[in-house]
Amino acid sequence: MALGYTLFLRHGRSLALTAEGEQLFRQAHLLLRQAQAFESFARTLPGTAWQELRVAYDPFVPRGFLCALADNLGAASAADELLERVASRGRTGAGRRPCRLALCQANNRTLGSEMEWRALGTVELGFYAAERLFAGYARPLTLLNLALVPQLVMHRRSDDQIARRLQISGHTQYMNEITLLRHAMQQGQGWGFLADHLQAQRWDGVSKIDTEVGSQGLNVTMVMLWQPGMNKHQDLKTVIDLAPALWAQST
């Protein structure tokens, strides 16, 4: 195709895009994503009448939001199943009964053409522990103080991006079941860097602890992920369009 302008410049054995080439490349990338989304939708069209809409969600997703989402899905007669598990990039299509939607933490990774996404909102975080766990320590606690005491973590070590953000201690115990987490925290088995909406300060003997990093700006961004083209299916489109408003109302 004769375009009338240069797309590449040669530097020795390597080629570099010109400004026009960069612009055309970006447009071509967007066009390719749209084509892949259309292909994905077209392939699943014979099975449009889903019997269930499975949603994988991160342990930090507020339960009030999940309840509101389930209520609205039920009111709309949409079949749904909320499955608790850590949702990381690429897991929405895993297994014989694939999840159609993942509610998870933004990992600051380039998704390319693998996934489409939409932001939900942020979850505020804080440091929590049994009051007796750090009874002999000066306040505010240092990161070294925290690193030497076991930490209760709600995300598996295999989720590297999340683990690096949320893990401070070299000794961690993983548990994403709230009842077990609450029991371990009350027993002084460790401290947690947890979502504020869990209201851990209401647990018996547990309080929010003051640390040298403060408490302002400690949050994570939650997003929705789905495979390209899947939002063309009405059931999933309804959830994706409805979720941001439900998040704002319930958090």
Q: Flag whether pLDDT at 9 surpasses 90.
A: no
- Cβ neighbours of residue 104 closer than 8 Å, sequence gap 6 or more: 56, 57, 58, 86, 87, 88, 89, 222, 223, 225
Q: Flag whether pLDDT at 92 surpasses 50.
A: no
228 and 117, same structural domain?
yes
**Interval 237-243 mean pLDDT:** 90
148 and 202, same structural domain?
yes
138 and 93, same structural domain?
no
Backbone angles phi, psi at 152, to 5 degrees: -90, 115
Residue 95 pLDDT: 44
The pLDDT tens digits of the residues spanning 32-52 come to: 766 676 666 666 655 555 556
CATH code at position 85: 3.40.190.10
Task: Identify the band that residue 115 occupies on the pLDDT scale cut at 50, 70 and 90.
Answer: confident
50 and 31, same structural domain?
no
Residue 146 domain-assigned (yes or no): yes
Residue 1 domain-assigned (yes or no): no
64-73, 118-127, 233-242, range with greatest mean pLDDT: 118-127
Quote the percentage of the chain above a pLDDT of 70.
75
The pLDDT tens digits of the residues spanning 72-85 come to: 876 554 444 555 44
* Cβ proximity of 131 and 206 under 8 Å: yes
Contacts 24+ apart (CB under 8 A), 175-182: 176/59, 176/84, 176/86, 181/152, 181/154
203 and 130, same structural domain?
yes
241 and 206, same structural domain?
no
CA dihedral (21, 23, 24, 30) positive or negative: positive
Average pLDDT, the chain: 81
Residue 7 domain-assigned (yes or no): no
Q: How many structural domains comprise the chain?
A: 3
**Interval 126-131 mean pLDDT:** 96
Residue 8 domain-assigned (yes or no): no
Residue 183 domain-assigned (yes or no): yes
Residue 4 domain-assigned (yes or no): no
106 and 95, same structural domain?
yes
152, two tokens: 């209760």
55 and 93, same structural domain?
yes
113 and 226, same structural domain?
yes
**Interval 53-64 mean pLDDT:** 88
- Cβ neighbours of residue 4 closer than 8 Å, sequence gap 6 or more: none
Residue 10 domain-assigned (yes or no): no
76 and 21, same structural domain?
no
Task: Identify the band that residue 62 occupies on the pLDDT scale cut at 50, 70 and 90.
Answer: very high
Task: Identify the band that residue 165 occupies on the pLDDT scale cut at 50, 70 and 90.
Answer: confident
237 and 118, same structural domain?
yes
Could you list the residue range(s) of the whole structural domain that residue 128 is in? 123-219
Q: Are strands 206-208 and 116-130 parallel, antiparallel or unpaired?
A: antiparallel
Residue 81 domain-assigned (yes or no): yes
144 and 101, same structural domain?
no
